[in-house]
Structure 1
Amino acid sequence: MTTVQWILPVALILFALLAGIIGEKVIFTKLSRFVTKRQILGGEVIFNSLRRMTFIWFTLAGFSAAISYSSLKIDADFKILLQKVITIIFLSSVTFVLARLTAGFVSLFIHRTEGVPASLISNLAMTIILVLGTLIILQTVGIEITPIVTTLGIGGLAVGLALQDTLANLFSGFYLIVSKQVRTGDYVKLDDGQEGYVTDITWRNTTIREISNNVIIVPNSKLASAIFTNYHLPEKEITLTMNVGVSYNSDLEEVERVTVEVAKDVMREIAPELIAIEPYIRFHTFNDFSIDFTLYMRVSEYFDQRMGKHLFVKKLHKRYQQAGITIPFPIRDVYMQDNGAENSDMEVD
């Protein structure tokens, strides 16, 4: 009789496990591939959030059914305890799914919005969902949350004093985001000379990737109080300047024409979208060996200056040679006085 009583509960649990495995390995996998292939917006986020949950939910349903429909003699209090455990596990899994969904869709929205840091906002959204879910679970199983909230409020003061640096970095990160002084993708240069692209702003620090692919970790509070230059504000496009000197024998009208043509040629290669903005030169100095001028041309962003200068020097040097324009270099005439004759005329008594 005892063996017969175990048949139904075990059968329900095994059926639930089998259904969970089939749902996870077959149905869930095929649907995930279908969504990925069709590139449905948000589909990948949904399936990543529900991963492994199909098996967990089928398993919980099997155990719940086994407890409810079992003919085994189970103590009422123990039965209630098992149901509460199942409820807690189920609500916890739902909370995790909602937290993943929230963080995923926030990150998806952020990635479609240029310059908004991803980690800090998505992690904050996930934390809020987890906290609310935990409070709901406690309320559901009969635990009063009011004393807990009150205790957390009082204890928060002590925690705040103990975690001053952490909280300072957290609020500094929010300040940087809200003020829009720094955005992901911006090229910044710190007051100590370090520079690079901002890749992320987390709850504690800001990550900056140098051109050499090294990573600089700056605490948010330090960055919020530092003097730095953001080369992407108010816009990414900047003006590249180059100082050049030509000989006094040069035809300055021809120098201007050739130089501007070379600058336009460079812009066609590195900043074709800005070609409508005409480059120009301004003569400014009668130097010792040359007449000096400065070229001004627009490039797409700060880092494009390097390639722009590289191409401009090569092309300008070639064009000046073809046009017979000379870039002078310093020449000094040195006159030496020979005192040997005077010494040779001297007589010694």
Structure 2
Amino acid sequence: MINEFWNLVVETWEQGIRGIGIDNIIICLGILIGSLVARSLMNTYLLDKIASFTEKSETTLDDEIIESLRGPFGLIPVAFGLYLITSYLPFTGSLDLLATNLVKMLVIYTIFSALANLTKPLLNLLSDNSWLTPAMTTWLSRVAGVLIWIVGITMMLDIWGIEIGPIIAGLGLFSVAVALGAQDMFKNIIAGIFILSEKRFQPGDRIRISNGLHGIVESIGFRSTQVRLLDTSPVFVPNTDLSDSQVINHQDMSYRRIFWTINLVYSTKAEQLENICKDIENYINNSDNFVQNPGQENFVRVTELGSSSIDLTILCYMSVIDYTQFSQVKQELIFNIMSAVENHNSDFAFPSRSIYIENQGPE
């Protein structure tokens, strides 16, 4: 009785699953666990060691390359482990073909995943060129990634003996049908290409669109551009609207301009006006906040005798682009103007009207 039971155990152990013994299954599980451990060790020790070494370099390109290869690099021991399993197990016929093709697909996925991840850091290497902006780099990396994966998927299908020609022909007919119903999408894509090529704006620029939108560009996508308004709410603007609209890029300003009209009371004498103009102009010319615009000099002049005031025009430029700093400079200028007016015993005028009533007396 015991011998028969033992023979049953041995037979079950040797037969296993579809003729693969349990000992073979345990060995295969050991290989799989070993490959996963090797993957973890490679990511934890080897790549981290290389990353710590590249951090000492002046450029960030090598750091980006290491991070982009971290995922695909970890698949190498897994692919090798699966290859060992398929070689060790006594697969035959269609089962052997299936296992071999799965290993080939994993190898192809590893290779093309590495190539797709490398496109962005390699294109960033070219972003120092004036013609290749960060936004164009993002676009090109996406397009290159799509093309790389198209080739990779084609190779995967070829492994299973699937012919690509009929699929491409079918996609051609399908693309015609899609193009007829997605004309707006293609218009937005083409408009986005023109926006990038003309370098109208880049992510991080503060722009104002003709319809009144005013905010910071966050990203330029295939179909739309995301603008973060000054109240922090995001707006997605179709690229065709941006391409056809007047867009003011405040980030590309050479100078910020102040063009003010100051109204003083009519009791101000000519000498007082001249001294007020000199004090304000001296402050502008001697302050580090203001610059000389080669196209137009800074000035403070009496320009008009208004209906209820003597008008002074202040025109000056500053190199400060940031709005917060710009507001601070304006505040300091306003305080200086108030001091100059007060020091010379004048005052600010406000719109007023004098009414004279004639007393004709009794008739």
Please report the TM-score for the alignment, with normalisation by the length of structure 1: 0.81
Whether the 8 Å CA contact 1:45–1:105 is kept in 2: the answer is no
Q: Does 1:316 align with 2:334?
A: no
Match of 1:65 among 80, 84, 105: 84
Match of 1:249 among 246, 255, 269: 269
Whole-Å separation in 1 of the counterparts to 2:150 and 2:221: 19
Whether the 8 Å CA contact 2:262–2:313 is kept in 1: the answer is yes
Q: How does 1:119-158 map to 2 (within 5 A)?
A: 119-158=138-177
What is the CA-CA distance between 1:223 and the residue it aligns to?
1.5
Whether the 8 Å CA contact 1:238–1:302 is kept in 2: the answer is no
Whether the 8 Å CA contact 2:280–2:336 is kept in 1: the answer is no
What is the CA-CA distance between 1:275 and the residue it aligns to?
5.5
Match of 1:100 among 71, 96, 117: 117
What is the CA-CA distance between 1:287 and the residue it aligns to?
1.4
Quickly say closer, same or farther: Cα 1:231–1:76, change in 2 above 3 A: same
Identity of paired residues, percent?
Answer: 20
Correspondence for 1:179: 198
Q: How does 1:73-92 map to 2 (within 5 A)?
A: 73-92=90-109
What is the CA-CA distance between 1:82 and the residue it aligns to?
0.9
Match of 1:237 among 252, 255, 258: 255
Match of 2:306 among 276, 287, 303: 287
Deviations 1:63-91 (A, max 9, x none): 102222x1x43113311221111111221
Deviations 1:112-138 (A, max 9, x none): 869642643432232222223222333
Please report the TM-score for the alignment, with normalisation by the length of structure 2: 0.78
Q: How does 1:177-256 map to 2 (within 5 A)?
A: 177-232=196-251, 235-247=253-265, 248-251=268-271, 252-256=273-277
SS of the equivalent of 1:131 reads helix
Structure 1 residue ranges without an equivalent (≥5) = none
SS of the equivalent of 2:55 reads helix
SS of the equivalent of 1:298 reads strand
What is the CA-CA distance between 1:310 and the residue it aligns to?
2.6
Question: Which deviates the most, 102-111 or 192-201?
Answer: 102-111
Whether the 8 Å CA contact 1:283–1:293 is kept in 2: the answer is yes
Q: How many residues align?
A: 335
Quickly say closer, same or farther: Cα 1:151–1:42, change in 2 above 3 A: same
Whole-Å separation in 2 of the counterparts to 1:286 and 1:232: 37
Whole-Å separation in 1 of the counterparts to 2:129 and 2:117: 18
Deviations 1:193-244 (A, max 9, x none): 22123222111211222333333321111221223333445x4424321222
SS of the equivalent of 1:51 reads helix
Deviations 1:270-303 (A, max 9, x none): x6xx458652234431213333232222233383
Quickly say closer, same or farther: Cα 1:310–1:156, change in 2 above 3 A: same
Quickly say closer, same or farther: Cα 1:200–1:107, change in 2 above 3 A: farther
Deviations 1:40-73 (A, max 9, x none): 42123222222333332201101102222x1x43
